[in-house]
Structures are given as C-alpha cells and as structure tokens.
Amino acid sequence: MHSLARGKPMVLPPTWRLWVGMLFVVVSEQRCIFDEVQAQAKVVQAAPTELRLLQAMNRVGRMASAERRMKLGKPALSTLASPQPIRIRLWIVKESGNLSGNEKERMEAVVEEAVRVVSSLLSVNRVKGPLLLSRDINKYCKFLWKNSSTANYNRCGRANSNYRTETCLDVTIPDDHLDGCDIYMSADSPQRTELRPKGSGLPDTDFLLYLHIQSTDKCRAEPGVLAYAAHCRTDAQGRPLAGVVVICRDRLTGATYKRQAAVQTVIHELFHVLGFSKELFHTWRDCSSTSQADGSGCSHRGKVTHADQSGQMRIFTPSVISALQKHLGSTDPELGGPLENLDAPLGRVSSHWESRVLQGSIMTAVLGDSTTVRIDPVTLAALQDTGWYIVDLSRAQSLVWGDGEGGTFGSLSTCQNKSTFFCSGSGFGCHFLHLHKGACQTDQYLEGCRVYKPFKNGSECWKKEDMGQSDEEDSGGEIFGFDSRCFFSNLTRQSQSQFLSFSSSVKGRCYRHRCTGQNRYQIQVSGSEWMDCPAGGSIQIEGYLGSVSCPDRRLCLYPDISPPSDHIPSSITSAPSEKLTSIQTPTQLPHTATKASFIIVAVCLLSAVLVSFKRCCSFRIRIHTFTDDHSDP
Ligand SMILES: *[C@@H]1O[C@H](CO)[C@@H](O)[C@H](O)[C@H]1NC(C)=O
Ligand SMILES: *[C@@H]1O[C@H](CO)[C@@H](O)[C@H](O)[C@H]1NC(C)=O
Ligand SMILES: *[C@@H]1O[C@H](CO)[C@@H](O)[C@H](O)[C@H]1NC(C)=O
Ligand SMILES: *[C@@H]1O[C@H](CO)[C@@H](O)[C@H](O)[C@H]1NC(C)=O
Ligand SMILES: *[C@@H]1O[C@H](CO)[C@@H](O)[C@H](O)[C@H]1NC(C)=O
Ligand SMILES: [Zn+2]
C-alpha cells in the first residue's frame, strides 16, 4: 500500500515567516508512516486454490476454443483477443457522501481524468464477461481439506460462522461484486452447499477502483498524508483486478486543492495499484518468448530487484534497462531502474524511483510542482515489464532530468560537482526545466545532493501574475509571461548601479525566449531587443551590467516541456512557445516598470533571510510507501 503526503501550507504575517520556515523544516522531516500502516493494512489476495482452479479452467477453456477454431479451420492467433485499453471502473464508496456537491464533482472529475490518462497508456487482455472478485477463503472458511489425494483438496470444509464481508483496505466490497463460495461437507464428495451466491459482477471492467474520499485515521495520523492506495485482488496471472484509492478529504478538497496535482496524485496511486509496487515486483511476468496475444505463454520473472555494487536496489528488467540506457546515454547492461532506498530497510526495496536519478518522474517519492512532474519513459517501461500490460511507450513525456548524463548520474559521489542538474550551496537559480526560478535545496530523499526547487510563491516565469510577487525591487529586467523562462543572470540596470555599492549576484531571473532551432533560441529582457542566446554561452544586454547565461540542452529541445496549457494567453491560439517554430516578428513588450529607489543594504539582507526561509517551504508532495501484510493462509 502506498500513501501520498503533502506539506501543509500556512499563511502567516510576514513577521512570522521565519518561524514558519523553521516549522517546516521540522514538519518536512517527520518520520514516514510506513510501519504503522503496514501493521494495520491487510491485502487479501485470491486464494491459491481458486487461482489454480481458474488457471485450469482457463486452460481447458482455451483448449476447447482452440479445438473449436481448428474445426472451423481458422488460424488460432487471429481470433484471440488482442490487448485493448484497460477499462478502469470507478466505484465511489458510499461513505464519501458527506462531500458537498461541488467537492464531489471536482474529485470525480479528477479521478476520471487520471483514469483516462492511464487507460490511454495501458492495454490489457480484457476480462471476459462481468468482473467478479473472489472471496478470501481464509476469511469465510474455518478449515480446508488438506489431503492432496482427495477431490476437495484445498476446498473449504467448514464455514467460518463469523464471516460477514470482504474488504478492500477499509472499503467493504459490495456482495454484488463478489464471486460465490461453497462448502464441501466431505473430503471426496462433490456435494456442496452454497455459502454465498455469486454476484452479478461488473460488466466491461478490467480493473475496479474503489474511490474513498474521507478523512480517515491514516489521514489524520500524519498531517501530510494526502492519499493512499492498495490493490486487493489479482487475477490468476497476478494482474491486479481491484484496488482502493483513499483521498484524504481535507487535503484535496480544501483550500489547498490544486487540480493538476490531484490528477497526478491519483495517477501515481493507480500506477502503484496496477503493478509498480514492491508487493508485486516478484510477480511480474516475462512475455517476451510468447507469440500468444492473450499472454498465456508468459512465465514468471521471479526476483527482479537486486542491489548493485553500491548497494542501490534496482529493478533489472529488459524494458526498464533499455529505457534508462537510452535516457542516460549509457550502454551499461547493468543499468537497472534505481529504487528509493530511504523508505526501505537496507537491502529491501521500495515502490518509488530513486529521486536523485529520476527527479521529476511521477513515480518518485516526492512530487514537485505539477508542471514539473512527468510520466516518463522509465516508469512506462516498468509497467510494460509487469507483463500484464501493453504500454504505449511513445506517449512518454520527456524527463529532461539527467538526459544524456551517463550511467553514474545521480550517484551520491558525483551529484556535488559533476552535473549541471545539481547545485551546491543555497543560492537562487533555476529549476532544471527552466519554467521556474528556484532555490538550491535538498530533501531527505536527495540525501545531501541539492537541486533548484521552485519557490512556493511567485517562481513561475510563465505566469504573468507572478511578476508582482517578486520579493525585491528587481532591477534585473525580468519579464514574466507564457513564453518566459528562467535564466541564470546577474543583470543590473545601468541606471541603478550607482545606488548599489556591490555587484549583483547571479540568480534565476525570468526573461522571454523564442526558439530559432533545436537548442537554439533568442531572449528578450525588459527594454531590450531579441538577442541570440548561444546555448552553453552567455550574453550581455545593452543598458545592463552583468550577463545572462544561456542554458545548454534545456530550452527549445523538448517539444513537450511547456507551461500548463490553461495559461496560454488568448492571443496565442495554436502552438505553445516551446515548439520549434520559425522566428516570429519581434513584438514590442510593455516595459517593466522599474521601481528604482534607495535600497538599504540591511533591509535587503533581512528580506533575503525571510525570503529564503519562506522558500524552503516550497509546496511539495511527499509520498510514502508501505507494504500491506498479506493475510496468512
Ligand atoms: C460531515 O461534515 C460536517 C462538516 O462539514 C462534519 O461536521 C460532520 O462530522 C461530517 N460527518 C461525517 C459522517 O463525516
Ligand atoms: C488421504 O486420502 C486418501 C484417499 O482418500 C487416503 O487413502 C489417505 O489415507 C489420506 N491421507 C491422510 C493423511 O489422511
Ligand atoms: C567532486 O567531488 C568528489 C567528492 O566530493 C571529489 O573527490 C572530487 O575531487 C570532486 N571533483 C571536482 C572536479 O571537484
Ligand atoms: C502566495 O501568493 C498568494 C497570492 O498572491 C498570497 O495570497 C499568499 O499569501 C502567498 N503566500 C505566501 C506564503 O507568501
Ligand atoms: C556577473 O557575474 C559574472 C560571473 O559571475 C561576474 O564576472 C561579473 O562581475 C558580474 N557582474 C555584475 C555586474 O555583477
Ligand atoms: Zn507512491
């Protein structure tokens, strides 16, 4: 099971900001709820006997239909079902009823969007007929027939009189979703009595998602918990058939609600329950040697996670390795997908990617600002390697982070000084996608490595509204807007320099940009013409002291990195700015009003301190993962 947590934002008067910062340092380092939830949570999996029975029945069924096909003279393969987009059925749990109509609609829309995204990525061999979940034999049965040479081996001999319901985590599964169950009075006789009748099941469903929106104990237990999830039923091949996502009501429906972040949260949880889970890694299947479209020739992969020489646990499956090789530009055949080590005891795995290596991936333990979260190729490769899905890998979003940096990228020994993706110190700069300004920070998952993280407020270069939120009297010529990006710069207006006895330090500043080719672009600073900004170099701007650095291989290279489309100004109707379009005719921008005034150095320093504290509290989502203990047969 997995839970998703998010730091609680607070708004306090400026004089309190210092304190808020400190509080956040404490809050963001709270322990993970892994252990408690592991003890409480229970995943019920289909009993092995039923699985074997199902498998046997499937085999018989397949043979029968193959025979029929042969009699009809049709080639077997052409009539077999080919994988089709997964049909995820949403079942909203009744107790979620205390939501206002608005909140409910909003949350349903969020989950529906997440489901749409996931089913556009994953295809399965569809469940034939209505989906029926099996009952847990260890719950309804007091004892099983244990003599393997009898007909009713592993069938139920006596009903458990306390048996009432089946649950999926905290959710009671409606009887209508459940298969029936029988009691066999003697070890050998086919005579049986029906304990529970078969429900009618769910038509057109490959995965049943119970959605529970509530303020549960787990939500209250840790202030940062946002949502959590677990799968609770699998089919005979181990593919999850049902699961639950609990969305903590207060966090996702209150003032802190952000739609895109909520959608990503649900996608993250769905990826967990569909297979990206340490509970499921060992049940992944290898379907490479089968030509059967229905997956019947797949074999178990066995253990797919191992430690590398440095002790980092990795997933070693073919698609994951080749996706990571391609991404990092390495030919290392041992380049498995690195798993987060922080939530797991030494030598154990967790269900998230190592955030130093796959920062920005939707399956890291920490999700940043929603514009920076990517459904990346390595995550999709992992889902492909489950063997349960055919994944549309072409729909992966570029990760950017670590692109082409080589097989050792993100290791603790190299993050300090070998890559421009990391930073050192605690200065201000640009988030690596250059959509945001940021502060050089670390978090528990980065383990001392530091990256520029967007500030909580006012760091989005692409948001015109952020302009006014600049904390200082800025003389650096910034322009905010849809086509603005973050640049390392120490520009200072010449007219102002006379007031400043010290040179301006380099930090992230927002300037307009436009693409002129692959990795080629021009920039515009307040009051300047469009200027070529040679990738990897730096330029000076007339009227300013200092210079602007031009990032290499970050801008005008990834067509899918752009501000959220709902921020496209009405004047731009088609192409987002990142598209490689030809040079547009320069347009005259209204100049930023410069607020030239005396700046007292002491005030400057004080505000810088306040700002840096405020900025440590950038709004981020923390995700914990924890296991469910399986019910013991
Ligand atoms: C329903 O919401 C109200 C306030 O919105 C709260 O006071 C009440 O306890 C809630 N009821 C349940 C059953 O959660
Ligand atoms: C198991 O069942 C077989 C056939 O009914 C019987 O011969 C055998 O004694 C049984 N074994 C045990 C250990 O009860
Ligand atoms: C990078 O850091 C490592 C360890 O911190 C150090 O051994 C190495 O000399 C550094 N390299 C450079 C070029 O600074
Ligand atoms: C962030 O910006 C919003 C909108 O301008 C403002 O209401 C809020 O108080 C700011 N939050 C902080 C922590 O500065
Ligand atoms: C800007 O930064 C560069 C490089 O750090 C430095 O050489 C230059 O003196 C700075 N200029 C100003 C005006 O601060
Ligand atoms: Zn997670």
Closest-CA residue, ligand 2 atom 5, reads 150
437, β-bridge pairs: 430
The yes-or-no answer on residue 269 being catalytic is: yes
How many domains does one find in the chain?
3
Residue ending a domain, choose from 539, 567, 595: 567
Is the pLDDT confidence value at 592 over 60?
no
Ligand 2, residue 188: give the atom nearest the CA: 5
Q: Check which CATH number belongs to the domain holding 324 and give it.
A: 3.90.132.10
101 occurs within a structural domain: yes
Q: What does the pLDDT average to over 133-158?
A: 92
pLDDT level of residue 401 (50, 70, 90 thresholds):
very high
When pLDDT is cut at 50, 70 and 90, the band that residue 142 belongs to is very high
Q: 445 and 330 share a domain?
A: no
- Same domain assignment for residues 430 and 374: no
Domain boundary among 567, 593, 623: 567
What share of the chain has pLDDT > 70, as a percent? 72
Which CATH number characterizes residue 55's domain? Answer: 3.10.170.20
Q: Rounded to the nearest 10 degrees, how much is the dihedral formed by the CA atoms of 169, 171, 174, 180?
A: 20
Question: Do residues 440 and 369 share a domain?
Answer: no
Ligand 1 centroid to Cα of residue 621, in Å, is 26
Evaluate the CA torsion angle 449, 454, 456, 458 in order and state its sign.
positive
The residue type of 543 is G
CA 395–ligand 2 middle distance (angstroms) = 57
Q: Is the CB of 243 under 6 A from ligand 5?
A: no
Domain around 482: 14-25+423-567
Query: Does one domain contain both 20 and 124?
Result: no
Tell me if 272 is assigned to a ligand binding site. Answer: yes
pLDDT of residue 12: 30
Are 341 and 446 in a shared domain?
no
pLDDT digits (tens, 9 = 90+) for 312-358: 999 999 999 999 999 999 999 999 999 998 877 777 888 899 999 99
| 179 and 44 housed in the same domain | yes
**Structural domain contains residue 92:** yes
Q: Is pLDDT at 119 greater than 70 in this prediction?
A: yes
Instruction: Indicate which atom in ligand 3 lies nearest the CA of residue 417.
Output: 1
Separation CA 536–CA 89 (nearest Å): 49
Q: Which residue has the higher pLDDT, 37 or 284?
A: 284
Closest atom of ligand 5 to CA, residue 492: 13
Q: Choose between 592 and 325: higher pLDDT.
A: 325
Runs of H (alpha helix) within 163-293: 217-221, 249-253, 259-274
pLDDT score for 590: 31
Domain shared by 193 and 58, yes or no: yes
pLDDT above 90 for 578: no
Please determine, for residue 265, whether its predicted confidence score (pLDDT) is greater than 70: yes
- Sequence-ordered list of residues with C-beta below 8 angstroms from that of 587, at least 6 positions apart, any chain: none
Do residues 373 and 264 lie in contact, with contact meaning Cβ atoms separated by under 8 Å? yes
Q: What is the mean pLDDT of residues 527-553?
A: 95
**69 in any annotated domain:** no
CA trace torsion 384, 387, 389, 390 (10° rounding): 60
Is 150 a domain residue? yes
The DSSP-derived string for 137-168 is HHHHEEEE---TTSTTTTSEEEE-TT---EEE
- Residue 191 in any domain: the answer is yes
pLDDT for 469: 60
For residue 13, what are its two tokens? 């008067």
Q: Is 504 in the pocket of ligand 5 (CB under 6 A)?
A: yes
* 33 against 243, higher pLDDT: 243
For tokens 């030239």, what's the residue?
596
Type of residue numbered 433: L
Residue 81 pLDDT grade (very low, low, confident, very high; cuts 50, 70, 90): low
Cβ-proximal residues to 104 (8 Å cutoff; 6+ apart), any chain = 96, 213
pLDDT at 108 over 90: no
Structure tokens that stand for 140 in this block: 């309804």
Going by their DSSP bridges, the two strands 240-248 and 207-214 should be labelled as: parallel
Mean local confidence (pLDDT), 219-228: 75
How would you class 174 by CB atoms within 10 Å of its CB: exposed for 0-12, middle for 13-18, buried for 19 or more? middle
Most confident of 371-375, 410-414, 490-494: 371-375
pTM for this prediction: 0.80
Q: What is the pLDDT of residue 292?
A: 62
Range with lowest mean pLDDT among 94-103, 254-263, 488-497: 94-103
Task: Judge whether residue 370 has pLDDT over 80.
Answer: yes
Q: Which long-range contacts (CB under 8 A, 24 or more apart) does 98-105 make?
A: 98/214, 98/249, 99/213, 99/249, 99/253, 103/213, 103/249, 103/253, 104/213
Residue 384 maps to a domain:
yes
Q: 352 among the known binding-site residues?
A: yes
For residue 177, the CA-to-ligand 1 centroid distance in Å is 28
Q: Would you say residue 342 lies in a domain?
A: yes
What does the alpha-carbon distance between residue 350 and residue 340 come to, in Å, rounded to a whole number? Answer: 6
Residue 39 has pLDDT above 90, yes or no: no
CA-nearest residue for atom 3, ligand 2, is: 149
533, 567, 601 - which closes a domain: 567
pLDDT at 363 (0 to 100): 93
Backbone conformation region of residue 410, classed left if phi is above 0, alpha if psi is from -120 to 50, else beta: left
Rounded to whole angstroms, the Cα distance separating 375 from 113 reads 14
- CATH number of the domain that residue 447 is part of: 2.30.34.10
Q: How far is the CA of 417 from the centre of ligand 3 (A)?
A: 6
Q: How confident is the model at residue 5 (pLDDT cuts 50, 70, 90)?
A: very low
- Average confidence (pLDDT) over 150-161: 93
Q: Which of 266-275, 414-423, 430-439, 572-581 has the lowest mean pLDDT?
A: 572-581
Of 487 and 40, which is predicted with more confidence? 487
Dihedral pair phi/psi, residue 510, rounded to 5°: -95, 125
Q: Assess whether 207 and 107 both reside in one domain.
A: yes
> Would the pLDDT of 8 be above 80?
no
496 occurs within a structural domain: yes
Q: Identify the pLDDT of residue 151.
A: 92
Strands 492-493 and 520-524 turn out to be: unpaired
225-255: pLDDT as tens digits: 778 888 899 988 889 999 998 888 876 666 7
Range in 292-301, 360-369, 597-606 the model is least confident about = 597-606
49's enclosing H/E stretch is helix 48-72
Query: Catalytic residue among 50, 222, 269, 354, which?
Result: 269
**305 & 213 share domain:** no
Q: For the chain, what is the mean pLDDT?
A: 77
Does one domain contain both 118 and 246? yes
Residues 305 and 444 in one domain: no
Q: Check the CA dihedral 5-6-7-8 and report its sign.
A: negative
Dump pLDDT digits (tens) for 448-484: 999 999 988 889 999 987 776 654 556 788 999 999 9
Q: Which residue carries 């995204």 as its tokens? A: 117
**CB-CB contact of 206 with 124 (8 Å):** yes
Tell whether 158 and 238 lie within a shared domain: yes
pLDDT of 146 over the 60 cut? yes
Confidence at residue 50, expressed as pLDDT on a 0 to 100 scale = 42
Say what the pLDDT of residue 236 is. 84
